[in-house]
Structure 1
Amino acid sequence: MRSAFCAFLVVLLAVSSATAQPTAEEILAGMQARFAALKDYRCLVEARADRPRPGQMLIRYTFSKPRRIRMEFQRPRRGAVAIYTGGDRVRVRRFRWLPITLTFAVTDARMKSPQGHQVDRTDFGAFLEDFARDAARGRLTYGGEEVVEGRRTHRLELVRAGPTTARDYRRMVVHVDAEAGLPVRIEALGWDGGHIETVVFRDLKVDSGVTDEAFEF
């Protein structure tokens, strides 16, 4: 009888362990560890914004550490390419067939999205720095598992502690790929609950061997 009871306890503990949900803090730490371990990644970034003005973007995105970024625009400005390799400058070619390279400061308004995103702060690492900072000051919760873009994901929801500017988000929902450990979708909502923007990351390939040539025209 005693051995049967012990066996029951072992099974019960095993089931409880298998079904235990991760905490929001564990998932955030997992994202940070996953990014720290990778060397490069590629993906297709699709962004839809309602504020401060409506718009859509589709970008083939390439990243390599320490922080090199290549953005090939599919929509809008199809054919335009922006390359950042460090420092405070971004190189841009507007047309593939016109070999003229322009250089802009990363803070130049023409190099920012309508939501204020700078080219040098568009990678997962920069996002995680900002997200972790806001999570430390605000309220981060785990919302369970959901299937997003055909991927099993963990849902994180962050409510910020206070505003800084009118365009800042109040609430952010991040769906984290349960296998890859990186964001699949990020949704930002305003202080009145209205939608600011949603960013989706598709066809993510990590450590695919991005070479130096990717950051040249």
Structure 2
Amino acid sequence: MAQIAEYQCKIDSRSAQGDRTLMRYSYRKPGYVRMDFSEPHRGAVLIYDPDSAKVRVWPFGIGTLPVLSLSPSNSLVQGPNGHRIDQSDVGTLLRNIRHLQQGGKTTVIGKEALAGQAALHVTILGAAGVNVGGVHRYEVWLEDSHSFPTKVVSYDTDNREIETVMMDALVFNLHFPTDFFTP
């Protein structure tokens, strides 16, 4: 992951309650995030700037009014499971996994085909009573070239599914336009 400075992917997230989120997700170190939504808020764009620690929101798309500037802790810009844009990158996921691994158990299930591509399936189970943001267990599928997660399923301490996130159309180290994260 250290060699990946920028990435972009399509995300299809489904909560256990049936809520679906579709977006194009873009990330640039050291923490710039842009989310272009297809569902549920078609056309909405959220951009997090780590320098200002603010989320700029275009509810109807870039170049339209209104434009809101909100804290990443504002419930208007959090996902159904309380996900925050400033904690949405793969690096945060990997830190959460490392936390569960401390005293927990990691099991390599093996290579599997996922969306026609080879992926390594791994399970991470936290120690008894340990969770990170309500997650006690992850099922993770890692693509071959960069060991980047392409599917993540999270479970709570009662082994109930919280959410399934699929990531595809991955592009690494692309060069975003200079104003992509600061329009």
Tell me, yes or no, if the aligned pair for 1:41 and 1:205 is still in contact at 8 Å: yes
The counterpart of 1:69, out of the listed 5, 16, 33, is: 33
* Counterpart residue number, 1:90: 55
The structure that has the greater radius of gyration is: 1
TM-score (norm 2): 0.91
Within 2, Cα distance between the matches of 1:169 and 1:38? 26
Tell me, yes or no, if the aligned pair for 1:41 and 1:210 is still in contact at 8 Å: no
Please say if 1:130 is aligned against 2:96.
yes
3-state SS in 2 of match to 1:45: strand
Bigger share in helix: 1
How far does residue 114 in structure 1 lie from its aligned partner after superposition?
Answer: 1.4
* Counterpart residue number, 2:148: 182
Please say if 1:80 is aligned against 2:44.
yes
Tell me, yes or no, if the aligned pair for 2:11 and 2:23 is still in contact at 8 Å: yes
Distance 1:168 1:212, change over 3 A: same
Query: Which amino acid in 1 is paired with 2:56?
Result: R
Aligned-pair identity (%): 26
Give CA deviations for 1:40-88 in whole Å, capped at 9, x if unaligned. 01110110101xx430000111111111010001000111100011043
Please say if 1:172 is aligned against 2:159.
no
Q: How is 1:15-164 mapped onto 2 (pairs within 5 angstroms)?
A: 35-50=1-16, 53-86=17-50, 87-96=52-61, 98-163=64-129
Tell me, yes or no, if the aligned pair for 2:130 and 2:136 is still in contact at 8 Å: no
Bigger share in strand: 2
* Counterpart residue number, 1:202: 168
* Counterpart residue number, 1:32: none
Which of 144-153 and 160-169 deviates more? 160-169
3-state SS in 2 of match to 1:95: coil
Aligned residues: 181
Within 1, Cα distance between the matches of 2:3 and 2:84? 24
Please say if 1:216 is aligned against 2:182.
yes
Within 2, Cα distance between the matches of 1:188 and 1:153? 18
- Note the residue ranges of structure 2 that are not aligned, 5 or more in a row: none
How far does residue 100 in structure 1 lie from its aligned partner after superposition?
Answer: 2.2
Distance 1:144 1:76, change over 3 A: same
3-state SS in 1 of match to 2:30: coil
Within 2, Cα distance between the matches of 1:177 and 1:165? 25
Query: Which amino acid in 2 is paired with 1:110?
Result: L
- Note the residue ranges of structure 1 that are not aligned, 5 or more in a row: 1-34
